[in-house]
Chain A
Amino acid sequence: MTQSQKSVQQALPEGTVVRVGPDGLEALVALLKQVGYTTIGPTVKDDAVVYQEINTTKDFPIGWADDQDGGTYRLVQGTKGAFFDYLVGPTSPKRYFFPPQNKLWGASKEQGHFEVEKPAEEAPSYAFIGVRSCELRAIIVQDRVFGFAREDQHDKGIFSDPYYVERRKKSLIIAVNCRRAGKTCFCVSMGGDPHVRHGEGFDLALTEIMEGSQHHFLIEVGSERGGLILALLPFEAAKDQDLVARKTQAEKARGQMGRTMVADVNPLLKNNLTHSRWEDVASRCLSCANCTMVCPTCFCSNVEERTDLTGDHTERWRTWDSCFSIDYSYIHGGPIRKETKSRYRQWMTHKLSSWWDQFGLSGCVGCGRCITWCPVGIDITQEAAAIKKSEECQT
């Protein structure tokens, strides 16, 4: 019997929870690389924790945590030796599934016709390590937008973006449960939770447990592929006290949400499109688009033709764009959202309200990035609350 046949037989069933030490996690990273994945994980770069290719658990932000608030992010000392004490940073898996710029195709003028060239490179196989619960839900949101796992529904008018779908299909997701929540977190009020739930699309989910001198990880199987990989690693069975510790950790993080989104925000915004608060926020908003760039669900892009000087060869590129750019709403005759007021309103109402109509879920998962990375600290939860609490609020 070959090794792979053997491992198929030994695939651990979904829901299995095992326990490994830090060396077990190191073995997991090594195994992922060995089977051909490009391993993407958290690492410290330029004073923040970002996603980047990592080669070992030593690349993780060991011992680092972060202190975030509107318009500010500072790395601070976390629990000594902890791998995952930090919270979400300025990047997310979005930039791997939906890169800031990618070539869609090219074309060359030949005698009397033109030849279309498909991009030569194959989509990479990524293994993401350390994906947070809110990021997992953001992937679900983008899956809906880009038509992942709905490629068989094209006849029903469902669009699938081949570039996204290809990358997404080939990737493996290893989530991590949050040990704490930060000042800008509000996933609970967006229907999420700091700990991942089954059905949210993770292959494996880690829980870091640090008690006294003990440091170990629980690994839970979330998919068949995850079960296969885990079966190839040495592990111990999880103990009852581990599961208790995991539960306590989840409760603690749930209670630490720094912010809350007001209830029923979808109808609230729909009923208040002419509220004076939009003017108020426009006086503060820089129209810089940072919020949309860091948001793990924002998907706006621009498509441009890049010709060479002769005009005989062209490439079509897709780049990240934003509803904060004036050209983004350019239609024949001019842009339709000329003022910052209408662009901010477009952004916020789309995230929290019209996304439901368009995709059947919320466009915001409550990760708090737009609050932290807004240079002037504009806070989506506060803007919603201000409308709700005001006298002119329409219900």
Chain B
Amino acid sequence: MNAMLNKKAKPKTSAKPGRAKPKVAVWKFASCDGCQLSLLSCEDELLDVVGEIQIAYFLEATSAKIEGPYDISLVEGSITTEHDAKRIRKIREQSKALITIGACATSGGIQALRNFADVNAYTRAVYARPDYIHTLKTSSPIQDHVPVDYELRGCPINKMQLLEVINATLNGRTPNISHVSQCIECKRRGTVCLMVVKGIPCLGPVTHAGCGNICPTTDRGCFGCFGPSEAANGASLARQLERLGMSKREIRDFFRSYNANAVAFRETSEIYD
């Protein structure tokens, strides 16, 4: 689960400018739509993108639908029902390249908090007719169900990274997206480390770079929205957070948020259960 996808593996489509525009579909599973909105918020770049691709299915933007197969499927959201588990297999069958976008699709999202609790107890507490609810016990990432060609991290994803993945796919090259820590973003940018100068708890050392260094530049420690970095050592960082004065419960909850179900974060939070 959540395997670091091989950066060197090129996405499968070989669309080239001047040739037929690749058909792109955008699919939604259990999610808040925030990642799809990132595509719509590429105001300046959207027209260029639309010029290069054919939007075949994107309900958030248009109700027009073009039948598959698709060259690129962008998949948002996690699998939380039997129905969705079947639907993603159908989508995979119709897609040359399947790219998952966002924390829900790549790790199970915030809704994966259910994985640490009893879902039936929740449904009984929340719904008047729990028997109407047909849900799985866990929220799981897409790659637990079907092979994925590329995973784009973030809650939400960074629109520049989304454009980069689309760009790289169109041009048949590897996306320039690295799986290093958020700390590298701080240092490249010249952001002074909050943890070292102020003792502010930060998940940056174990978090995948790519957000654009948002929290550390606004005096907040990293919340881990991009999930674990390629070589995250959560246990060691957690020991440092203890030294900085965080309680065991706070540490558990720190690691258990948008990417609660991502292996490195899950294993760390479980130490503090």
Contacts and interface: CB of A to CB of B under 8 A. Distances in A.
Nearest to A328: B180
Given A326-B179, A375-B183, A375-B205, A91 B190 contact: yes
Contacts of A360: none
Contact of A327 (B45, B179, B183, B189): B179
A293 interface: yes
B181 A288 contact: yes
Contact of B236 (A90, A95, A283, A306): A283
A72 B195 CA distance: 8
A105 interface: no
A73 B197 contact: yes
A245 B154 CA distance: 57
Contacts, number: 145
B240 A376 contact: yes
Contacts of B233: 283-287, 340
Contact of B173 (A283, A286, A305): A305
Contacts of B249: none
Contacts of A73: 193, 196-197
Given A73-B196, A311-B16, A286 B184 contact: no
Contacts of B191: 46
A45 B192 contact: yes
A286 B237 contact: yes
A293 B197 contact: no
Contacts of B167: 307-309
B246 to A, nearest CB: 14
Interface residues of A, number: 51
Interface string A347-359: 0000000000000
A65 interface: no
Contacts of A377: 240
Interface stretch (A112-120, A133-141, A258-266, A317-325): A317-325
Given A287-B232, A309-B45, 13 more contacts: A72-B199, A91-B190, A289-B181, A293-B184, A302-B178, A305-B173, A305-B176, A320-B187, A322-B184, A324-B180, A325-B180, A330-B8, A375-B193
Interface of A: 45-48, 50, 71-75, 90-91, 95, 100-101, 283-290, 293-294, 302, 304-312, 319-322, 324-327, 330, 340, 343, 372-373, 375-377
Interface of B: 7-8, 16-17, 45, 48-49, 51-52, 163, 166-168, 170-171, 173, 176, 178-181, 183-184, 187-193, 195-199, 202, 204-206, 229-233, 235-237, 239-240
* CB-CB nearest 5 A-B residue pairs: A293-B187, A288-B205, A287-B231, A100-B188, A46-B192
